[in-house]
């Protein structure tokens, strides 16, 4: 292998695939980054047992020369060292040359590294994906829907399937649901679906979606192709391919968790409500449970909390709208703040059925988002 590549381009591609590489892997070759120089460009690959990322550097793009491949070939290089090194090289051009003993010479300006490469033949093959079931989604929508659901996945492994987000495709809608059985987040978006698509439900690990979100740049107008198979999902964005395994197991039916009636409905400014809870939480989090109380009556909502050691806090908010019975309820400040912080709308509508029934939070003006949290018994 022998190629010359522009530093900026290489730095970006390496930082993308690094998100899939874990130094804690039990398979030593996977601590490396694989580099393949071919006739149309250079491919970098990083992988762990859950996700794999491929980043492609085309020889030329938008009239800029990114790379020249003198001799095609491949090599695996220690990933942490390689990623630090390319960032710190002195010149804008980097020359990479691999000899028959896998020794890799990296030259940039007056700096010359000689790294011991690893055998690319030992690097596992990425899953071969049959690109039959494909749908498209706008990048900004994809990022929103990850942000608005993944926070609610379970962080414990007691029910592994709950560490993932369920994606269902039905009637041109993608519906995403996450729950840890104390709270739930649901968001649907319209998608362009392939006509003869066969697979309609995936459970994608929350950690995979978090990493995916990090490598999606802010070029929001672009779409991402999503390829579904029985045990893998592939996200294809501009020059980047992101593979994730899927979770096995039956995802519970969450529709029966969501109450259909409500006895009290209040509307509040999203930020004002968030900050009132945050202030109450200053005392509540010193107690072990981080519970705040809410009392709603006529057009007023009172948020309060107390700590035996430190003191008490009260705050009164004026509701934008109030319907139904007066109410006293307690809930986790963290769960409420998590939900509110994912809502971009100016106002939220909150539905209560009673002090021990789920609380529903909906942004006003967007029927596609629903957050649910269970209350905590204190009264």
Which residues of this chain interact with a copy of itself, rule CB under 8 A?
Answer: 78, 81, 84-85, 88-90, 103-104, 110-116, 275-276, 278-279, 282-283, 286, 309-317
Residue 143 beta carbon to a copy of itself: minimum distance, rounded to whole angstroms: 28
- Interatomic CA distance for residues 379 and 369, integer angstroms: 30
Residue 291 beta carbon to a copy of itself: minimum distance, rounded to whole angstroms: 17
Q: Whose Cβ is closer to a copy of itself: residue 56's or residue 113's? A: 113
Tokens of 237: 């964005």
Q: Whose Cβ is closer to a copy of itself: residue 108's or residue 229's? A: 108
Own/partner long-range contacts of 287-292 (Cβ < 8 Å, ≥24 apart): 289/332, 289/376, 290/332, 290/333, 290/334, 291/330, 291/331, 291/332, 291/333, 291/376, 291/378, 292/330, 292/331, 292/333, 292/336
For residue 88, give every residue at least 6 positions away whose Cβ sits within 8 Å of its Cβ, in sequence order, or none: none
Q: Whose Cβ is closer to a copy of itself: residue 243's or residue 273's? A: 273
Q: Whose Cβ is closer to a copy of itself: residue 81's or residue 356's? A: 81
Residue 280 beta carbon to a copy of itself: minimum distance, rounded to whole angstroms: 9
Q: Whose Cβ is closer to a copy of itself: residue 87's or residue 238's? A: 87
Residue 111 beta carbon to a copy of itself: minimum distance, rounded to whole angstroms: 4
Q: Whose Cβ is closer to a copy of itself: residue 115's or residue 361's? A: 115
Residue 52 beta carbon to a copy of itself: minimum distance, rounded to whole angstroms: 24
Measured between alpha carbons, how far is residue 257 from residues 164, 260, 334, 357, 369 in Å? 18, 9, 20, 10, 15
Calculate the CA 315 to chain-centre distance. Answer: 34
Residue 238 beta carbon to a copy of itself: minimum distance, rounded to whole angstroms: 30
Measured between alpha carbons, how far is residue 55 from residues 19, 156, 243 in Å? 11, 32, 12
Whether the Cβ atoms of residue 342 and residue 318 lie closer than 8 Å to each other: no
Residue 107 beta carbon to a copy of itself: minimum distance, rounded to whole angstroms: 10
Q: Whose Cβ is closer to a copy of itself: residue 76's or residue 89's? A: 89
Residue 339 beta carbon to a copy of itself: minimum distance, rounded to whole angstroms: 19
Nearest to 372 by CA among 208, 272, 255, 249: 255
- Interatomic CA distance for residues 115 and 365, integer angstroms: 57
Whether the Cβ atoms of residue 178 and residue 208 lie closer than 8 Å to each other: no
Nearest to 293 by CA among 309, 271, 282, 277: 277
Compute the radius of gyration of the chain from its Cα atoms: 25
Whether the Cβ atoms of residue 107 and residue 94 lie closer than 8 Å to each other: yes
Q: Whose Cβ is closer to a copy of itself: residue 289's or residue 316's? A: 316
């Amino acid at each position: 292998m022998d190629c010359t590549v522009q530093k900026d381009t290489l730095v970006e591609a390496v930082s993308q695939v690094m998100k899939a590489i874990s130094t804690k892997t039990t398979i030593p070759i996977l601590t490396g980054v694989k580099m393949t120089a071919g006739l149309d460009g250079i491919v970098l690959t990083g992988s762990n047992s859950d996700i794999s990322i491929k980043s492609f550097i085309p020889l030329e793009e938008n009239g800029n020369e990114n790379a020249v491949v003198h001799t095609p070939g491949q090599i695996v290089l220690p990933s942490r060292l390689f990623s630090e090194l390319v960032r710190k090289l002195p010149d804008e051009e980097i020359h990479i040359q691999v000899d028959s003993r896998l020794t890799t010479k990296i030259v940039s300006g007056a700096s010359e590294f000689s790294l011991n490469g690893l055998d690319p033949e030992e690097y596992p093959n990425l899953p071969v994906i049959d690109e039959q079931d494909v749908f498209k989604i706008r990048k900004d929508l994809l990022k929103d829907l990850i942000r608005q659901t993944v926070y609610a996945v379970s962080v414990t492994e007691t029910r592994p399937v709950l560490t993932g987000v369920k994606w269902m495709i039905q009637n041109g809608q993608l519906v995403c649901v996450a729950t840890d059985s104390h709270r739930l987040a649901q968001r649907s978006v319209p998608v362009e679906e392939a006509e003869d698509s066969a697979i309609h439900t995936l459970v994608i690990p929350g950690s995979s979606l978090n990493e995916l979100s990090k490598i999606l740049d802010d070029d929001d107008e672009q779409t991402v192709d999503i390829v579904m198979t029985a045990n893998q999902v592939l996200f294809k964005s501009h020059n980047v391919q992101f593979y994730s395994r899927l979770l096995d197991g039956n995802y519970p039916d969450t529709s029966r968790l969501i109450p259909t009636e409500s006895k009290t409905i209040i509307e509040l400014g999203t930020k004002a409500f968030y900050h009132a809870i945050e202030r109450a939480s200053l005392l509540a989090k010193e107690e072990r449970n981080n519970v705040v109380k809410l009392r709603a009556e006529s057009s007023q909502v009172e948020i309060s909390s107390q700590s035996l050691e430190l003191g008490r806090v009260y705050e009164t908010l004026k509701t934008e709208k109030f319907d139904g019975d007066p109410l006293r309820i307690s809930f986790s400040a963290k769960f409420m703040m998590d939900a509110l912080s994912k809502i971009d709308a100016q106002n939220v509508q909150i539905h209560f059925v009673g002090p021990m029934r789920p609380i529903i939070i909906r942004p006003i003006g967007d029927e596609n988002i629903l957050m649910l949290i269970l209350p905590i018994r204190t009264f």
